[in-house]
Structure 1
Amino acid sequence: MIYSGFEIKSFEVGKGQWHARIQRIDQEPVVIDGMPFPTLDIGFAWSDRDAAISDATKTIDRLQQRYGMTMPSAST
């Protein structure tokens, strides 16, 4: 799933423990406090895929608000 310049991938670690990983669609790292992260694993072990994806979209929104990130468009 593409959301606001990020690709979100959900995955299951153990039965019923869903997580999400985000990566910029332009493959550039996300830089947080000077540290580059090629991918970010997000949050908690959610009970379903939709909850993990929802948490990832909220995290992306917070990153953009906190760090003022401008993400590339999907056409880049």
Structure 2
Amino acid sequence: MIYGGFQIKSFEVGKGQWHARIQRIDQKPVVIDGISFPTLDIGFAWSDQDAAITDARKVIDRFQQRSGMTVPSAAASA
């Protein structure tokens, strides 16, 4: 799923423990306090896939509010 310029991938680690991984769609790393991350695993185990995705969206929204970061959309690069 694409949201706010990020690819969100959900995955299950153990039975009923859903996580999300986010990566910028332009493949550039996310830089947090000077540290570069090619992908970020969201640090909670949710009981369902939708909750993991919702949490990932909130993290992306905080990135954009904190840094004013804008990422080109997939449509803009096509």
Correspondence for 1:43: 43
Higher share of residues assigned strand: 1
- What is the number of residues matched between the two proteins? 76
Structure 1 counterpart of 2:5, which letter? Answer: G
Separation in structure 2 between the aligned mates of residue 43 and residue 70 of structure 1, nearest angstrom = 23
TM-score of the pair, normalised by structure 1: 0.96
User: 1:49-73: per-residue Cα shift (whole Å, max 9, x none)?
Assistant: 0000000000000011011111111
Give the partner amino acid of 1:8: I
1:70 and 2:70 correspond: yes
Point out the structure with the larger helix share. Answer: 2
CA distance in 2, matches of 1:14, 1:62: 28
Counting aligned pairs with the same residue, the percent is 82
Unaligned 5+ runs, structure 2: none
- RMSD (Å), alpha carbons: 0.7
Task: Give, as a single letter, the amino acid of the residue that structure 1 aligns with 2:10.
Answer: S
Check conservation: 1:43, 1:55, Cα contact below 8 A: no
Q: Does 1:18 align with 2:15?
A: no
